[in-house]
Amino acid sequence: MKNNIDAKNDSMIAFTGGQILTMDSEQKYVETVVIKESHIVDVGDRSLLKAYPDAEIHDLKGRVLLPAFIDSHNHLSSFGCFFPTWANLIGLTEKESVMEEIQLHARKKPGKGWIVGFGWFDAKIGGFDLTKNDLDEIISDRPVLLIQATFHQSVVNSQALELVGITRSTPEPRCGIILRESNGMPTGVLVEYAQVPVFRLVMEADTETLANLIEARAKELLKFGITAVHDPGVTPAAEAAYQKLHDEERLPVSVLMMPHGETVLDNQLGYRLHGPVTGVGDEKLRVGPVKLFADGATAETVAFSLKIGGQTINSGNYRDDFEEMLFAATEKGFRVCVHSFGNATTDAVLTAFENAVTRAPAGFEMRPRLEHVTLISTSQIKRLAAMGGCACIQPQFLSRAQNTKQVVLDDGKWYAYGDLVKGGVTVASGSDNPGGFMDARDPIEGSVMGSTMSDGAGNVIFPDQVLPFEQWLWMYTAGGTYAGGQEKERGMLKKGMVADLVVLEGNLDPKNPPVVSETWVAGKKVYDHRVLGI
């Protein structure tokens, strides 16, 4: 790494003089942590310093030391690294504002290449609907793509439809929808897998370019105290870029690669299942669970079964291509992570995991992992816990949870974060960046939203699901390591663990939360808010 503030790596450093939270259930608090080179060599009370007389003392001066954060759901390579090159539409809910931003972006990028905007809110999430006609009115001589904030729906102009060959006669793709006019002509709106042909063109890059984009985006995480990510949806191209960064010692953060298809939303892993399996790699770059999509994030592509007032209302559909790949991946010795928003989807996913047990290699720990779980029942939580499963949740979605609060269910709960933990499921937390409705990369902000179950504007949504602030910090550290199978290398201040650390200024209080003061990667200080003037 070349962005270090402290160049020393062979010295021994002892952290003391503040509150030290280890995230280790066997020894929750200590007074001293000693690191040598890239790992923790000892933890204990202050008397420990006598055993290390040559250690350089790093006085915390009353600050808080804990393991560095893990963003357990960050789309760093699949589209996060491209986001800075696109028009940022997040938070723009007026059509005129979005159109102006797209036109401005086009002027900044002259030529005939793609114009891409991300973060468009359609009418269902508080914005407005668009078609190809709207985009044609402002730009008709080059392809335009606007990606909805969830990444599960897009709208393109006529030029883009022509480039990818989507016409009146194009059949509906498996697990996707091409919205059409009454005469069968595409409206320009593409849902779920129907977006894949466009994504292939827009996010095509050679290995060097992709590596540079990933590196630049990853460096931004250090100011948030994040030193490791789980990338849910690593394509073969992204895997090659990560390997290049690793080989050249250019990875700013540790990465758990979650293998995926040729592009995001593609469940067909094909030959990748014959490559390195879950766990292969080292502390800087490791293969994680395969990432599959069981549903999407739109009304049509999320399967709900809502029991209200004694009646059952079913809506949406889950994908029909995840189960076969879950079985195939398990047989090859991969763990599997499944995107599952709806409760009916989750039921199908849990059944698939239960049926996959007999297909797993002898002695293989499946550790089923679910992403998002917006609506889940007590019985489903019990099923997941019984399999030693885990869930990765994103508190930023509480920012749009007011409407779900109005839907009182007979069975199941929305955003049942507290129930998951109390039900014995290990829970990790992440951002879903850049997806969603805000820049959710800051784990402190996420922990505030989660520990208060609020929408970020002071409105408490589901008070019965509140968990302590420190529990949320645990989800961003030790919880993430369990979800990623990394519990023997990071996420706790414990002897033998990687010396990835974060120092916080302030109290662990969601009403007046702390800020990141320092970030350390493998024993090196890589961020200091005093040095960078932040």
Q: Which of 230, 359, 215, 232 is nearest to 294 (CA)?
A: 232
- Token pair belonging to 167: 């016409």
3-state SS of 425-464 is CEEEECCCECCCCCCCCCHHHHHHHHHHCECCCCCECCHH
Report the pLDDT averaged over residues 341-349. Answer: 98
- The rounded distance, in Å, linking the Cα atoms of 41 and 43 is 7
Confidence of residue 15 (pLDDT cuts 50, 70, 90): very high
Give one DSSP letter per residue of 286-297, joined into a string: EE--EEEES--S
Neighbours of 262 (CB within 10 A): 15
Residue type at position 477:
T
The pair of three-digit structure tokens given for residue 392, joined into one six-digit string: 């990765």
Strands 285-287 and 254-259, by their bridges, are: parallel
Distance from C-alpha of 323 to C-alpha of 318, rounded to nearest angstrom: 11
- Kindly list the distances between the CA atom of residue 443 and the CA atoms of 24, 334, 447, 516, in Å, as whole numbers in the listed order: 19, 28, 6, 10
- Locate all alpha helices (DSSP H) within 140-205, ordered by sequence: 158-164, 196-202
Share of the chain above pLDDT 90, in %: 93
Q: Detail the DSSP E strand segments found in 298-455.
A: 304-308, 311-315, 336-340, 369-372, 375-376, 390-393, 413-414, 426-429
Task: Give the pLDDT of residue 10.
Answer: 59
What gap in Å lies between CA 529 and CA 505, rounded to an integer?
A: 10
When pLDDT is averaged across residues 56-74 and rounded to a whole number, the result is 98
Contact 470, 510 (CB under 8 A): no
Cβ atoms of residues 246 and 284 within 8 Å: yes
pLDDT digits (tens, 9 = 90+) for 273-291: 999 999 999 999 999 999 9
Is a pLDDT exceeding 90 seen at residue 534? no
Rounded to whole angstroms, the Cα distance separating 3 from 250 reads 10
- Is residue 481 within a helix (H) or strand (E), and if so which, with residue range? helix 478-484
| DSSP letter, residue 115 | E
Helix ranges (DSSP H) in 23-147:
95-108, 132-138
Per the CB < 8 A criterion, the answer to whether 184 and 160 are in contact is no
The pLDDT tens digits for 301-330 are 999 999 999 999 999 999 999 999 999 999
Q: Identify which has the larger pLDDT, 525 or 91.
A: 525
pLDDT digits (tens, 9 = 90+) for 161-199: 999 999 999 999 999 999 999 999 999 999 999 999 999
Burial of 472-489, coded b for 16+ CB within 10 Å and e otherwise, reads bbbbbbbbbbbbbbbbeb
Q: Whole-angstrom Cα distance, residue 259 to residue 267? A: 10
Residue 114's closest CA among 187, 206, 203, 197? Answer: 203
CATH number for the region 9-67+492-533 comes to 2.30.40.10
d(CA 181, CA 187): 6
> SS3 helix, strand, coil % of the chain, rounded to 5?
30, 25, 40
The whole-number pLDDT of residue 236 equals 96
Residue 393 contacts by C-beta under 8 Å, 6 or more apart in sequence? 372, 373, 415, 417, 420, 427, 428, 429, 430, 450, 475
Q: What ranges do the domains of the chain cover? A: 9-67+492-533, 83-203
C-alpha closest to that of 102 among 134, 149, 150: 134
Q: What is the mean pLDDT of residues 244-265?
A: 97
- Contacts of residue 38, defined as CB under 8 A and 6 or more positions apart, other chains included, come to 9, 498, 499, 522, 523
Whether pLDDT at 488 is above 60: yes
Q: Which residues pair with 178 in a beta bridge?
A: 190
Residue whose pair of structure tokens reads 């897009």 in the numeric block: 154
Of 199, 202, 197, 208, give the one whose Cα is nearest residue 85.
202
Tokens 């970030």 -> residue: 519
Q: How many residues does the chain have?
A: 534
Per-residue pLDDT at 532 exceeds 70? no
318, β-bridge pairs? none
Q: Are 500 and 228 within 8 A, CB to CB?
A: yes
Q: Binning pLDDT at 50, 70 and 90, where does residue 126 land?
A: confident
pLDDT tens, position by position, 395-408: 999 998 988 888 88
Q: What is the CATH number of domain 83-203?
A: 3.10.310.70
